[in-house]
A and B are shown apart, each in its own frame.
Chain A
Amino acid sequence: MKKSAVNHIISLILNTCMILFSLTCIYPIIWILSSSLKVKREFNADIISLPENPTLINFQKIITNPDYHILASLGNSFLTTSISVFFIALFGFIVGYLLARVRFRGNKMIGILLLMGMLIPIHSLLVPIYVVFNRTGLSNHWYTLIFPYIAFGLPIAVFLVQGYVKEISIELEEAAAIDGCGFSRTMFQIIMPICRPVMIAIAIIEAFNCWNEFPFALVLLKDARLHTVPLAMTQFTGQFSSDYPQIMAAMLITMAPIVILYFAFNKLIIKGMVAGAVKG
């Protein structure tokens, strides 16, 4: 019937739009991947074609170049991110649970303090953090960035945990109390496992945020050996600005952990984001 034919055509157009959209989201990465397998001459000749003799020489040059601490920067980012995420999740849970369940003086004030932290544009803090950290000798160490990363990730974590904990039936904790379970034990052994979905969501969001963070790394780390991944990337354009495949290889190395993490866990990540969005 006529109407269903029109519907089919509309469906076709809509599907094509979505597919085009998804393609444009993915294509730049594919372009970089295929280009990084070419040598400079082949790339300059034809930037779109698939590599005829795929070669890993670009990757080799980047990794073995003594001026570029690519592997070191991957290590630095990994260390900083994992420690920061661990503490953001842990502290977020503790503070969130306390704020949600326990009435104590200062409960509201701490909540407001954390909320304000979400509104402050962190670039306003670049200068003073630079000064404060320099004065206290905290800059330019392997652990420097962990402090601000935890501090900036805390408000969101607390917010998400609070919302989640409020939905847990309080009878669970009451039953635990009757059974003689102390406060700390209840919090860690009973409630924390229940909060696993929101903790995973927090861990994922903050892992991406910490790994990709740039301005504070730029300002607080002087030593090239301490650089995190985004900082190390800014070094490439200087020397190799005409050798695109090489730059692309470098970028791929630095993006690899994120890409692998994302596509391996993408169902989990999207579920976590949705949970966060609905609560937020």
Chain B
Amino acid sequence: MGSRKPKAAIIVAYLFVPMALYVFSVFIPLLTSVFYSFFEWKGGPNKTFVGLENYIMLLYDKEFWQAFQHNIYLVVLCVIGQVGIAFVLVMVMNSKGTKFKDMHRTFGFFPSTISHVAIGFIWTMIYDSRRGLLNWCLTAVGLGDKTQVWLNNPKLVMTLVAIPLIWQYIGYYMLILLSATSSIDNQILESAELDGVNGFQKAVYIVMPMIKNTILICLVLCVAGNMKVFDNIFVMTKGGPGNASMVTALYGYIVSFKQQNMGYGSAISVGIFVLGILLVGSIQLLVKLFSKEGIGNEEKCC
């Protein structure tokens, strides 16, 4: 075994290129970002050190926190819409009479392979007031008076923008949850059915606790993914009308590249990073708390 371990020089040789690339493209930029966030810098050669001023400005920046609120709104909608609906669909797929499972998996997963930019365009066309599918459907069922220029409605725009996101990823989470449920021993489910358990109870009290870890992973992926939302919204509304559909990543982009305010933009980036970690951390804590209660329930019913 000792003769199998390669010399240190060989290890370094193998690791050097990929790690150097990685450090150069990920870590140096990250550190540079933190560095620049302490300066006021408009993109030119003049930088002035301002200490924590950018961060104080960030704390009071109404637009940023409004954008963050929009991110949270998206996260909530998407957890319910993507993971929630996916879970329901998985229960449906797993019940006995369901046919064409392969087709459902293939078609369901398909939207998640398309680029967010394309999805943004597709749904912009669906929402179009004159030629879009949505208004056509409303008129066809007799609700013609409800038609409007959808993406110009500041009250609805955030929800409208969430729908493509939900639509795109239901199949993705469905696939992950399907593979998790396929490892559940069928005998447990069958003996529960013999005991008279109905579908809903089966889902909540048996299946959910057994795939707890996978659900946690789905939640983390969902939250992390929604903090990063950018492409869809950029293409559909650019954050508008006004700031009604602004999200943090888009705001960071606009401040840095459109307003050329790179020092502040860097502070925003660091802010997004910290908020993201806090969110993911609290989700993991919450699930740990819930699962402690869940374990209590199992003991009670068995």
Interface residues, chain A, with chain B CB atoms under 8 Å away: 7-8, 10-12, 14-15, 17-19, 21-26, 28-29, 31-32, 43-44, 47-48, 91, 94-95, 98, 102-104, 110, 113-114, 117, 119-132, 147-148, 150-152, 154, 173-174, 177, 183-184, 186, 208, 211-215, 219, 229-230, 233-234, 236-237, 244, 247-248, 251, 254-255, 258, 262-263, 266, 269-270, 273-274, 277-278, 280
Known A17-B92, A148-B25; contact A234-B117, beta-carbon cutoff 8 A = yes
Whether B105 contacts A270 by the Cβ 8 Å rule is yes
| A152 neighbours in B (Cβ, 8 Å) | 25-26
Contact status B8-A125, CB under 8 Å: no
| Residues B8 and A104 in contact, CB atoms below 8 Å apart | yes
Residues of chain B lying within 8 A (CB to CB) of residue A274: 175, 178-179
Contact partner, B100, options A19, A102, A177, Cβ 8 Å: A19
Which 5 pairs between the two chains have the least Cβ-Cβ distance? Answer: A11-B97, A212-B115, A151-B25, A128-B29, A91-B18
1/0 per residue B275-291: CB within 8 Å of A?
01100100000000000
B105 CB contacts on chain A under 8 angstroms: 270
With CB as the reference atom, state the residue of chain B lying closest to A90.
B18
A contact residues around B96 at 8 Å (CB): 11
Cα-based distance from A14 to B269 in the complex (angstroms):
45
Majority DSSP secondary structure for residues of B touching A = helix
Contact in complex: A128, B36 (CB < 8 Å): yes
| A22 to B99 Cα, complex, angstroms | 12
User: A151: which B residues are within 8 A, CB to CB?
Assistant: 21-22, 24-26
Tell me whether A128 and B107 are in contact (CB under 8 A): no
Q: Which residues of B are found within 8 Å of A121, using beta-carbon distances? A: 224, 227-228, 249, 272-273, 276
Give Cα A131 to B31, complex, Å. Answer: 12
> Which residue numbers of B lie inside 8 Å of A, CB to CB?
1, 3-6, 8, 10-11, 14-15, 17-19, 21-30, 32-33, 36, 89, 92-93, 95-100, 103-111, 113-118, 121-126, 128, 130-133, 136, 167, 170-171, 175-176, 178-180, 183, 214, 217, 224, 227-228, 230-231, 234-235, 249, 252-253, 256-257, 262, 265-266, 269-270, 272-273, 276-277, 280
Compute how far the CA of A172 lies from the CA of B108 in the bound complex, rounded to whole angstroms: 40
Q: Give the distance in Å from the alpha carbon of A258 to the alpha carbon of B119 in the complex.
A: 13
Q: Which residue of A lies closest to B126 (CB)?
A: A28
Q: List 16 A-B residue pairs with CB atoms under 8 Å apart, sorted by A's residue number.
A: A18-B100, A22-B108, A25-B108, A26-B110, A28-B126, A28-B133, A95-B14, A122-B228, A123-B249, A124-B270, A128-B269, A132-B29, A150-B22, A151-B26, A183-B4, A214-B231
Chain A residues with CB under 8 Å of B89's CB are 17-18, 21
A98 and B104 within 8 A (CB):
no
* Pairwise interchain contact B116-A214, C-beta atoms closer than 8 A: yes
The reply to whether A132 and B28 contact each other, CB–CB distance below 8 Å, is yes
Contact partner of A120 (CB less than 8 A), chosen from B170, B266, B273, is: B273
Question: Is B217 a contact partner of A280 (Cβ separation < 8 A)?
Answer: yes
Within 8 Å by CB of B117, from A18, A94, A212, lies A212
- Contacting residues, chain A, for B277 (C-beta < 8 A): 119
Contact B266 A270 (CB under 8 A): no
Q: Decide yes or no: A110 and B19 within 8 Å by CB, A123-B228, A234-B117 being known contacts.
A: yes
Chain A residues within 8 Å of B253, by CB: 123, 126, 215
Say yes or no: A278 contacts B36, CB within 8 Å.
Answer: no
Selected from A10, A113, A174, A214, the residue in CB contact (under 8 A) with B1 is A174
Interface pair A95/B15, CB less than 8 Å apart: yes
Q: A124-B272, A128-B33 known; A270 and B167 CB under 8 Å?
A: no
Q: Is the CB–CB distance between A32 and B122 below 8 Å? A: yes
CA distance A11 to B235 in the complex (A): 40
Contact B26 A125 (CB under 8 A): yes
Chain A residue with the shortest CB-CB distance to B8: A104
Q: For the complex, give the distance between the alpha carbons of A110 and B36 in Å.
A: 26
A127 with B262: in contact, given A28-B122, A98-B14 (CB under 8 Å)?
A: yes
Residues in B whose Cβ lies below 8 Å from that of A130: 257
Nearest chain A CB to B192 CB, angstrom units: 17
Docked pose: A31 CA to B133 CA in angstroms: 9
Closest Cβ–Cβ distance, residue A117 to chain B (whole Å): 5
User: For A128, what are the chain B residues with a Cβ–Cβ distance below 8 Å?
Assistant: 28-30, 32-33, 36, 266, 269
Q: What are the residues of chain A within 8 A of B227 when measuring CB–CB?
A: 121
Bound-state CA distance A128–B11 (Å) is: 30
Which B residues are in CB contact (< 8 Å) with A10? Answer: 97
B93 and A18 form a contact (CB under 8 A): yes
CB distance from A104 to the nearest CB of B (A): 5
Contact A233 B131 (CB under 8 A): no
Q: Report Cα–Cα, A162/B49, bound state, in Å.
A: 43
Contact A14 B228 (CB under 8 A): no
Contact B98 A177 (CB under 8 A): no
B118: A residues at CB distance < 8 A: 212, 230, 233, 251, 254-255
Residues of A close to B36: CB separation below 8 A: 127-128, 131
Task: Decide: A230 and B115 in contact? CB cutoff 8 A.
Answer: yes
Across the interface, which residues of B come within 8 angstroms of A229, CB to CB?
A: 115
The smallest beta-carbon distance between B149 and chain A, in angstroms, is 14
**Complex Cα spacing A148 to B28, Å:** 12
A250–B110 alpha-carbon span in the complex (Å)? 19
Q: Which residues in A have their C-beta under 8 angstroms from that of B14? A: 94-95, 98
B105 nearest CB neighbor, chain A only: A270
